[in-house]
């Protein structure tokens, strides 16, 4: 009996946990910004997808892609794919499949560009 190979080389359960943790981290940061009255971003989650609506009505969409072990980010500047690359300090490592950029750095950059203020996830 052969072992099943996954796109990232890691078990599905590890990807699922890391993806859930990433989405929860995004939601927690948005909640903190709302509580601190830093910025009014509307966050809507549906399963493995979060839509962030900025005050200027632009959106960022983060979507899990379980069959590929990826997170996808749709922003005004383009679409980005981040492959799961294991864990680091209890969190998933997500790297852009083209540039190697970290997911949370890219999300921060895109959110800052679209909102007009510096935001750090």
Report yes or no: 49 and 63 within 8 Å, Cβ to Cβ.
yes
pTM of the model: 0.91
**CATH, domain 12-114, list 3.30.420.40, 1.20.58.1030, 1.10.10.60, 3.30.920.10:** 3.30.920.10
Structural domain boundaries in the chain: 12-114
* Cβ–Cβ < 8 Å for 50, 111: no
pLDDT in tens, 88-101: 766 788 999 999 99
The Cα–Cα gap between 109 and 8 comes to 25
First to last CA, the chain: 43
Residue 2 has pLDDT above 60, yes or no: no
């Amino acid at each position: 009996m052969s072992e099943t190979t996954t796109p990232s080389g890691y078990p599905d359960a590890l990807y699922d946990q890391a993806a859930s943790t990433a989405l929860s981290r995004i939601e927690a940061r948005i909640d903190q910004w709302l509580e601190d009255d830093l910025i009014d971003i509307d966050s809507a989650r549906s399963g493995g997808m979060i839509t962030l609506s900025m005050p200027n009505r632009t959106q960022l969409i983060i979507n899990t892609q379980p069959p590929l072990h990826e997170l996808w980010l749709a922003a005004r500047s383009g679409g980005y794919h981040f492959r799961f690359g294991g864990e680091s300090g209890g969190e998933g490592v997500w790297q852009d499949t083209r540039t190697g950029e970290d997911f949370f750095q890219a999300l921060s950059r895109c959110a800052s560009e679209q909102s007009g203020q510096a935001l750090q996830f």
